[in-house]
Structure 1
């Protein structure tokens, strides 16, 4: 027997599903299917998910795992039947770092939220009595990371989740069935949509300057700044930002100082251990541009331009949670997002992003001197790409 055979056991086989949700992809697990050591939060779970995705990878390719070497494809989801009678499924999201041994549990993935509903129906996490033979089933999701409710409207045909359709989503090549998603009371924390109490703050960032910024906790903590204040037009595509090391360093500095001002961290150095949140985005009034696919986006068909960074890189489209933040900020007069959209009261906006456009809606009201968002809504799509078992070396656990 070889030395390798004596010292290394057979790989672990773990039931898993590889799904696209919105403009993201991730590996989905049922909690009960995980090895026992990984069924609870901790180092064993993190080690497992890192190995599944193929991190840490100094080559930043995740060749030896399921990840796609981008923030949109280095994601994991753990689902279980909810213990709450008001919800069908508990949804836990882990954003896996690419070149570091780190899983960020600090926020949600809005795009993959659209896949949670279909997965829950297909895997028996929703009471079968509530699933029609033909029609739509409302799946009530408890988002564990941020302690919020998400509601997916999942189409069903002949008792099965309907995945194919003609709904087109910019950033996704092929059409699929539409899955409307509502994020209930999306403010992070106890309704503190604006953690500083201001719609616009002066954010001092050494080496960058003092910038106007809207710091909002809705969907996901987000730092919005004006594109023009950074020398941008808001029409930039990925290569204009991601190939510029100095630009990425500036955005990371803005993100870190924004996190500090929002109270998400106590010391600036803590920002490196919280890569998933907050997001940083820049906004501008409408302008025509050519999307990454070559599609022409005309100024007249959008209300504003938004570009957002995730895990240190400009996102190829828009994170679902950041879209919730955009909808929420646009609905409140005086924020930078609202100003870029032309100001005034509005309950929906269509914004331009690198891959095209997206329409999002939110209802805002001032209650007792505080802004409240009842819900933010958008349409996504989702599809199972592969299902079966994912394998990891036995020594992972």
Structure 2
């Protein structure tokens, strides 16, 4: 019989946290000041803590012993604090937690969870209460720390509190909620280099695949766009058609890795494995009828093009918010693969079909001194608090 008194026992610690849905993603939200002191700065302690919170690394890929949902859309963490900038309300740090590997990727943003940042900030006192009306809308200016960009969220207020319920429907989310328009300002990555190669379209030489036409764009999130037909797809595929095909997933990862090198995100193919969050790979096609994962019919007449995107090595169930920004930006620029799939010509918005339905996004492009510029990309999302209180982790987790 084990002598319980002599068994090493490390008590769990409690950390204030909120579990939130934003768009078609959900994650664990923290106020920076609520984190243990060692995790209030970027580094190993913070990464280890968030891995344990989410339940990673998990060789079973289920995240049973954590808050993660075992998909790229649900293995996410957010850290918020009052902004150091007088032009912003809140600083937003996003961590994409790997499911089966011991790392947190800080290289990009989550556009879907961006919609939840404003509501969380208001509810947790990170926005000046004097700016919150009894009824109306609060404009929350968010500084996205990962990508050093501004996001502006329009959060509805009813009776002095954030409105969460409503009749706004978002394909990929089961229940309706309140609409939150989100604007991603100057979404080009880096110093305005929307096209890192300088080209609207490139020939991407991918071993085992061949030379693919590709649009490599830094807007919202670095994204590699290719034609569905060039890799044997229609652009109407659902998750099961790709995520159960190991050869297809390997092909997409090879495309992603070579796209990352071409975009200057990494210097060698071997580095792609430690940078899974960016870039994304998406394949596009002209509008066509198909049935979404919910059973809903998507009619070609109601959309401008079809798009499928991969996140963290798997086909996404809907569309990442940041990739939707990339779609909006690319569609607005004549000559990109996205623009051509949508029929070409100048446009300020597109409606694209994704695995869960469709989404309308808007952006306006301008060619200034020989360089393309996107002032902002806009889409509507929704957000809701699912649970709030404390999350527990063993005290020796970090």
- Specify the TM-score bucket, using the shorter chain as the normaliser: over 0.9
SS state at 1:384 partner: strand
User: Which 5+ residue runs of structure 1 have no aligned equivalent?
Assistant: none
Alpha-carbon deviations, 1:324-382, whole Å to 9, x = none? 00000000000000000000000000000000000000010000000000000000000
Matched with 1:34 is 35
1:8/1:395 contact within 8 Å kept: no
Question: What is the rounded CA distance, in whole Å, between the counterparts of 2:299 and 2:194 in structure 1?
Answer: 32
Query: CA offset at residue 125 of structure 1?
Result: 0.3
Q: Is residue 29 of structure 2 the alignment partner of residue 12 of structure 1? A: no
Question: What is the rounded CA distance, in whole Å, between the counterparts of 1:6 and 1:137 in structure 2?
Answer: 53
Matched with 2:238 is 237
CA RMSD of aligned residues (A): 0.9
Matched with 2:136 is 135
1:105/1:145 contact within 8 Å kept: yes
Q: Is residue 372 of structure 2 the alignment partner of residue 367 of structure 1? A: no
Matched with 1:98 is 99
Question: What is the rounded CA distance, in whole Å, between the counterparts of 1:132 and 1:314 in structure 2?
Answer: 41
1:114/1:381 contact within 8 Å kept: yes
SS state at 1:60 partner: coil
1:31/1:79 contact within 8 Å kept: yes
Question: What is the rounded CA distance, in whole Å, between the counterparts of 1:344 and 1:252 in structure 2?
Answer: 31
SS state at 2:119 partner: helix
Matched with 2:296 is 295
1:8/1:394 contact within 8 Å kept: no
Matched with 2:285 is 284
Q: Is residue 147 of structure 2 the alignment partner of residue 146 of structure 1? A: yes
Question: What is the rounded CA distance, in whole Å, between the counterparts of 1:83 and 1:41 in structure 2?
Answer: 16
1:200/1:336 contact within 8 Å kept: yes
Question: What is the rounded CA distance, in whole Å, between the counterparts of 1:238 and 1:9 in structure 2?
Answer: 41
Query: CA offset at residue 196 of structure 1?
Result: 0.1
Matched with 1:344 is 345
Question: What is the rounded CA distance, in whole Å, between the counterparts of 2:178 and 2:6 in structure 1?
Answer: 47
Query: CA offset at residue 4 of structure 1?
Result: 6.9
User: What is the number of residues matched between the two proteins?
Assistant: 397
Question: What is the rounded CA distance, in whole Å, between the counterparts of 1:123 and 1:6 in structure 2?
Answer: 40
Question: What is the rounded CA distance, in whole Å, between the counterparts of 1:173 and 1:112 in structure 2?
Answer: 17
Q: Is residue 207 of structure 2 the alignment partner of residue 192 of structure 1? A: no
Structure 1 segment 156-305 matched on structure 2, within 5 A: 156-305=157-306
Query: CA offset at residue 9 of structure 1?
Result: 2.1
1:51/1:392 contact within 8 Å kept: yes
Matched with 2:355 is 354
Calculate the TM-score normalised by the size of structure 2.
0.99
SS state at 1:15 partner: strand
**Deviates most, 4-13 or 211-220:** 4-13
Question: What is the rounded CA distance, in whole Å, between the counterparts of 1:2 and 1:261 in structure 2?
Answer: 60
Calculate the TM-score normalised by the size of structure 1.
0.99
Matched with 1:58 is 59
Does the C-alpha gap of structure 1 residues 289 and 394 become closer, same or farther in structure 2, counting only changes over 3 Å?
A: same
Alpha-carbon deviations, 1:265-294, whole Å to 9, x = none? 001100000000000000000000000000
SS state at 2:236 partner: coil
Question: What is the rounded CA distance, in whole Å, between the counterparts of 2:272 and 2:395 in structure 1?
Answer: 33
Alpha-carbon deviations, 1:123-145, whole Å to 9, x = none? 00001111111000000000000
Query: CA offset at residue 7 of structure 1?
Result: 1.8
SS state at 1:396 partner: coil
Matched with 2:316 is 315
Query: CA offset at residue 10 of structure 1?
Result: 1.3
Question: What is the rounded CA distance, in whole Å, between the counterparts of 2:354 and 2:34 in structure 1?
Answer: 37
